[in-house]
Structure formats: structure tokens, C-alpha cells
Amino acid sequence: MSTAEVPLISAAGLTKFYGVRVGCLDVDLEAYAGEVLAVVGESGSGKSTLLSLLSTQLRPTRGSVHFRMRDALVRDLFQLEEAQRRLLSRTDWGFVHQDARLGLRMNVSAGGNVGERLMAVGWRNYASIRREARLWLARVEIDGDRIDDLPTTFSGGMRQRLQIAKNMVSAPRLIFMDEPTGGLDVSVQARLIDLMRGLVADHGLAVIIVTHDLAVARLLSHRIIVMRYGRVIETGLTDQVLDDPREPYTQLLVASDLRG
Amino acid sequence: MSTPPVYNFAYLDEQTKRTIRRAILKAIAIPGYQVPFPSREMPMPFGWGTGGVQVTASILGPNDVLKVIDQGADDTTNAVSIRHFFARTAAIATTTRTSEATIIQTRHRIPETPLKDGQILVYQVPIPEPLRFLEPRETETRQMHALADYGLMHVKLYEDIARHGHIATTYAYPVMVDQRYLMDPSPTPKFDNPKMHMSPALQLFGAGREQRIYALPPYTRVLSLDFEDHPFERTRFTAPCALCGATDAYLDEVVTDDRGGRMFVCSDTDYCERRRPARQAGDGGERGHEHR
């Protein structure tokens, strides 16, 4: 079996209780390299909990998450040491937040934000860090002149693109996104989606994207998972699920979408 | 008339001193690691060197000779009061000579006279956590120390270069201790950083308000952080000391009148005085060096 057929990340029986309340319940999923997996559902359906569990920011009540490391070994993420998990999360993974302030250091320049991951893994040459930062700013269409500006001076769309540059600089294989297009106007959204599609295609990334925006899911993802009350109620190819939903709840969701 | 108060030797009670010594031993065993300790109320406000005073009190013996400096000077209020404090509560000998002292308590300087085997340098530390202003959560900074996750410190230096063209941090310049722990050298000028490296003296750091003690055992590797293409540089002065002519010392700027007159003199008063035995102290000031 070639590595391409082994999922990059897979979850089995993933469950999280907040006290007696359910965060998510018995979720199984897998994502492969080069694939965008969308997780949709209304607010409170457990999408964000699921993302936090997969990215090990939360510990599950039960269940496991396995990840295929660069050496092709598949490891249980919650059995790894904290130091290894940290290394993963700033080299092999990226995390793009809806609120850029969570993903960026707002009092550090754009170049410093992009360079942070490089310095964390031992880059100690100022000129090369800067060269790499410029390269990635250009790739996400941020003018090189803005390299020393603070993200506070950036527009919403630029901040999201800066977040993406900050994550991509370490050549990650998996990116988690939590509503990355939330709160942006439609033309900015469209450009961001375009950028993300390009990166996925060029770098063979796997992306797990949480969104309540079905249009974003349709444009970006290959497969889709529909969640409700913490459970996965429907899963399949994106166009198939959105064009021909099987579950009544999914039908409602699709029918409620204004741009359907 | 009441009798003058009787203090336990060096003010602190024996139990407290033992506790602090245990923290010191642990700190020496893990160079650069911040050890928590139960900081006591001292008869001085926090910020005036309560951490250093507690460390000194705990290691002081009847035969020790104590020197106290504040910004390099033996004759400033803080230095004089602390010296008197221990002369009164421990009846020990005090000195202003670096070479004669067995224990030197310092605020913000390392003496210019090289330290020797057997000497102990005690630093007063306001903020022991080098990552404090980059990451305000103590839980998170401890985690970062545990995992030697120090990329963030370089982000700070990167920002310096991006904004100023060079690393603009000139005091409290972060150091890496024995290739393991990131350490704040207390607000000493970066000029003093190289003196910490492989020093024959034991260096103890006490932060009273923050309740932390850390240490550098003798002959510990202490390297200032930098970039390959922006290496650490010691502060350089363009002119010698106006009083003693030293070219290898850290200089203070002293304003001499209200017409913009100023001179640059050694911040280490002991070093400066030893270097000008022939002249009367203060004599050379009139030569009025003006530079920069």
C-alpha cells in the first residue's frame, strides 16, 4: 500500500463531554493528502470541538486520533509527548482561525509573524528568514513593502492571508481552518478561496475546514461531513451531499442556504 | 530608654534561611532554571532588592566580607542602606573593594575587576522571566521553558533588527545558559553579559516580589542570543572615562551644569578610584570630556 492510500489523519470514536453536555460523540473520519474535507453544521453542532480535538488543543473524553508522520509511521497523537505535539503543530500543521487575532501576534510585524515558525525550528540567519518571509508574503499577495508593518494596520482579508503565509512557511502537510472566510465581504472571500485552492493543488495539502457557509464548502472541499448535536449525520462527496442530501436535516440546511 | 532590638544573625530566622538555601542549591543544580521560594517581608519595599537581600542573608557567614553596589556605585542610597543593614544585623565586615569581598550584592552591574574563585555575586532581580513581555501567561512561559521552546525570543530580536537595523536591546539582554535555559541576566547592561560566561564566581539571582531564585554555578557557559548575520555586540564607548581614563569600563553620563555640560565616568566607583591613586577624587572632572 503506498502512503497516499494511508490517511494523513484519522479519528476513531472521538468523543468529548463538557460535564454532562456533549461536545461531539463517536466521530470517525479520515483525511488524505491533497484533499479538502469540510465540516458543516449549525452553531453548536460540535464542529469547533471536533477541530480542537483533531488538532490536540483539547483532550478527548474517549477515542483516538492517528496521524501519519513524515517518516510514514502512523502515531496516536495523544500518546505523543507534549514536545513532539508542539513540534508537529508548528511544522507539519497549520491552523487558520476565523479571528486573525488568535492566529497572529498583533504586536509583531508581518515579517516577524511569518518568521516565527522558522526561528522556532532553529533558523538563525536574519537575511534568510526575511527572504523566506518576503517570498510567502508575495505568494499570498501581500506587498513586500508591508513586511515591517503590524497586522493591526492590515484589512480583514489581508490578515487572513497573513495567517495563511505564517502557516505555510514551514511547509505543513495538514491545515486546520475554522471559518477562515467568516466576516469577509464576498469579493475578498472569493480571492481567499482562490488562494487556498491554489495552495492545496500546488502543495498536496490536506485541509480540514470548519464552516457554516455551504457555498464555501462547495467551492473548496472534495468531501463533506454534516454534523448535528455533536454527531456526524451525513458524509460523502461534496457535490453529491449538497445536490442530493439524504438526511432531512441536511436537506433543511441546503434549502436554507440563501445562495443555495 | 528601651534596649536596641536584637536580631537573629543576618535578620532572617534560621528556618527561613534553610528554606532559601534549599532553593539556592536547587538553582545551582539546574543552571538558569527559576526556582520558586517563599519570599519574606523584609524591612524595605519590594523593588528595593528584597530578593537579593534574602539570598545574601541566607548565605552570609560571620567571616564574610560584604560589598554592595547599586548601578556599579558603592555610595548610592540603596547600596549604603543594605551594607549598613547587614553590618548591623550580622556584624560582618563590609568593604567597597571588589577584590576583598567574599559576597557582592549588586543591582544592575557586574564589577569591572574580574571576579575570582570563591566569590559570590548576588543579583537583585525585578522580573526574572525573560519571556514575560512576549507571553504574559506564566503557565505558558513555564511550559516553554520545560520544552525549551524559545523561538519567540528570537522573534523579539528579529523585530529589533526590522525596526532599528540592529538588535536594540541594550540591557536585560537574554542569554542561553548551558545550552538549555533561557535566562534574564537582570537589568544589567549587555556590556556585562560576556562577564557571566565561564565566570569563576558563583552567581545567584534573587527576585523577591516574584519569589524566584536562579543561579549560574562557576564556569557555566552563558551565551547572548543573536543571529548569524547580526551577532551580539558589546556596547562600546567612544571616549575614555573622564576621571580615570579607563577605556574598558562601562560609563555613566553625568550632567555637570545646566548649560549642556556633561561627562562620562566609570559606573564602577571602586574600579575608577583604584585607577587614579595619584589624583584627588573628583579632580579630573573639570577636564570636561565632551563626546558623542
Q: Are residues A78 and A204 in the same domain?
A: yes
Catalytic site includes residue B47: no
Same domain, A59 and A132: no
- Mean pLDDT, residues B2-31 taken together: 93
**AA letter at A21:** R
Residue with cell 567574599: B102
Report whether pLDDT(B140) > 80.
yes
State what percent of residues in chain B have pLDDT above 70: 94
- Asked, for residue A66, whether it belongs to a domain, the answer is yes
Whole-number pLDDT of residue B276: 86
pLDDT of residue B288: 38
Share of chain A above pLDDT 70, in %: 97
pLDDT of residue B220: 98
What are the tens digits of pLDDT across the range B235-255?
Answer: 999 999 999 999 999 999 999
As a whole number, the mean pLDDT across chain A is: 92
Please give the tally of structural domains in chain A.
Answer: 2
| Residue of B224, B227, B230, B233 best to disrupt the A interface, most CBs of A under 10 A | B227
Do A181 and A82 lie in one domain? The reply is yes
User: Rounded distance, CA A47 to CA A23, Å?
Assistant: 9
| Res. A188: pLDDT tops 90 | no
Domain that holds residue A224: 3-92+174-256
Regarding whether A10 and A69 lie in a shared domain, the answer is yes
User: Are residues A22 and A149 both part of a single domain?
Assistant: no
Spell out which residues of chain A touch residue B180, defining contact as CB-CB under 8 Å. none
Total number of residues shown for chain A: 260
Closest CA to B211 of B81, B41, B31: B41
What percent of chain A has pLDDT above 90? Answer: 79
pLDDT band at residue A169 using 50, 70 and 90 as cut-offs: very high
Q: Is pLDDT above 70 for A251?
A: yes
Nearest to A117 by CA among A172, A160, A72: A172
Residue A134 lies in a domain: yes
Q: Count CA atoms closer than 13 A to B201's CA, side-chain side.
A: 23
Chain B environment of A127 (Cβ under 8 Å): 229
**Interface touch A124/B149, C-beta < 8 Å:** no
Distance CA B203, CA B111 (A): 12
pLDDT higher than 50, residue B289? no
* B191-226 b/e (C-beta count within 10 Å ≥ 16 → b): bbbebbeebebbbbbbbbebbbbbbbbbebebebbb
In terms of domains, do A116 and A164 share one?
A: yes
Q: Which of B32, B52, B72, B206 is catalytic?
A: B32
* Best to test chain B binding among A126, A147, A149, A170 (most B CBs inside 10 Å): A126
Q: What pLDDT, on the 0 to 100 scale, is given for residue A135?
A: 95
Which positions 95-124 of A are in contact with B (Cβ < 8 Å)? 105, 108-109, 111-112, 115-117, 119-121, 124
Position A97 in a domain: no
Element (H, E) at A14: strand A9-18
Answer whether B159 sits within 8 Å of A121, measured CB to CB: no
B215 to each of A40, A49, B29, B41, B207, how far by Cα in Å? 53, 43, 9, 22, 12
> Grid coordinates standing for A169?
512557511
CA distances to B116, B219, B248 from B198, rounded to whole Å, are 11, 4, 19
- How far A119 CA lies from chain B's nearest CA (Å)? 5
CA-based nearest distance A249→chain B, Å: 41
B272 belongs to the catalytic site:
yes
Task: Please indicate, yes or no, if residue A62 is contained in any of the structural domains.
Answer: yes
**Angle, vertex CA B236, rays to CA B242 and CA B184, nearest 5:** 115
Q: In the structure grid, which three cell numbers stand for residue A176, read together? A: 486546520
Boundary-marking domain end, from A149, A171, A193: A171
For residue B197, pLDDT beyond 50 = yes
Is position B61 annotated as part of the catalytic site?
no
With respect to residue A98, please indicate whether it lies within any of the assigned structural domains. Answer: no
Q: Do A109 and B159 touch (CB under 8 A)?
A: yes
Number of residue pairs across A and B with CB atoms under 8 Å? 52
Residue A52 within a domain: yes
Residue partners of B143: CB distance under 8 A and separation at least 6: A82, B149
The verdict on whether B151 is a catalytic residue reads no
Average the pLDDT over B244-270 and give the result. 94
Rounded Cα–Cα distance for residues B105 and B100 (Å): 13
**Predicted pLDDT of residue A104:** 94
Give yes or no: residues A44 and A82 share one domain.
yes
Of the pLDDT bands very low, low, confident and very high (cuts 50, 70, 90), residue B27 is very high
* Cβ distance of A115 and B155 shorter than 8 Å: yes
Which pLDDT does position A2 carry in this prediction? 57
- ipTM of model: 0.87
Burial level of A146, CB count in 10 A (0-12/13-18/19+)? middle
| Residue A185 or residue A28, greater confidence | A28
Q: Which of A84, A86, A108 best probes binding to B when mutated, by most B CB atoms within 10 angstroms?
A: A108
Contact B227 A121 (CB under 8 A): no
Residue A76 has pLDDT above 80, yes or no: yes
Residue range A7-24: average pLDDT?
Answer: 94
Minimum CA–CA partner of A106 in chain B: B134
Nearest to B112 by CA among B220, B251, B239, B235: B251
Asked whether the predicted pLDDT for residue B139 surpasses 90, the reply is yes
DSSP B147: T
A86 touches B: beta carbon within 8 Å: yes
Model confidence at A105: pLDDT above 70 = yes
Q: Which of A82, A120, A127 sits opposite B151 (nearest CB)?
A: A120
Neighbours of A21 (CB within 10 A): 8
CATH of the domain at A40: 3.40.50.300
Do B273 and B74 form a contact (C-beta atoms < 8 A)?
no
Q: Are strands A62-68 and A74-76 parallel, antiparallel or unpaired?
A: antiparallel
Q: Are residues A45 and A140 in the same domain?
A: no
* Mean pLDDT taken over chain B: 92
Q: Helices B14-29 & B50-59, crossing angle to 10 degrees?
A: 100
Mean pLDDT for A17-39 is: 94
Same-domain pairing of A179 and A220: yes
Domain endpoint, select from A156, A171, A186: A171
pTM, two decimals, is: 0.85
- Point out the domain boundary residue: A131, A147, A171: A171
- Together in a domain, A140 and A204: no
Q: According to DSSP H, which parts of B223-278 are helical?
A: 269-275
**Is A19 domain-assigned?**
yes
- Report the C-alpha dihedral over residues B93, B97, B100, B106, rounded to 10 degrees: 80
The confidence score (pLDDT) of residue A43 equals 87
Indicate whether B184 pLDDT > 60.
Answer: yes
A151 within domain boundaries: yes
State whether residue A80 sits within 8 Å of chain B by CB: no
In the predicted model, is pLDDT for residue B32 greater than 80? Answer: yes
Pairing of strands B65-70, B93-94: parallel
Q: pLDDT at residue B2 above 80?
A: no
Please tell me the distance from the alpha carbon of residue A86 to that of residue A92, in angstroms, as a whole number: 10
Enter the C-alpha cell of residue A190: 472569493
Is B32 among the residues known to form the active site? yes
What is the Cα–Cα distance from A113 to A123, expressed in whole angstroms?
A: 14
Q: Cβ contact (<8 Å) for A121 and B151?
A: yes
Which pLDDT does position B6 carry in this prediction?
Answer: 83
Tell whether A145 is within 8 A of chain B (Cβ). Answer: no
Q: Quick one: A84 and A199 in the same domain?
A: yes
Judge if A88 and A179 occupy the same domain.
yes
Question: What pLDDT, on a 0 to 100 scale, did the predictor assign at position B180?
Answer: 95
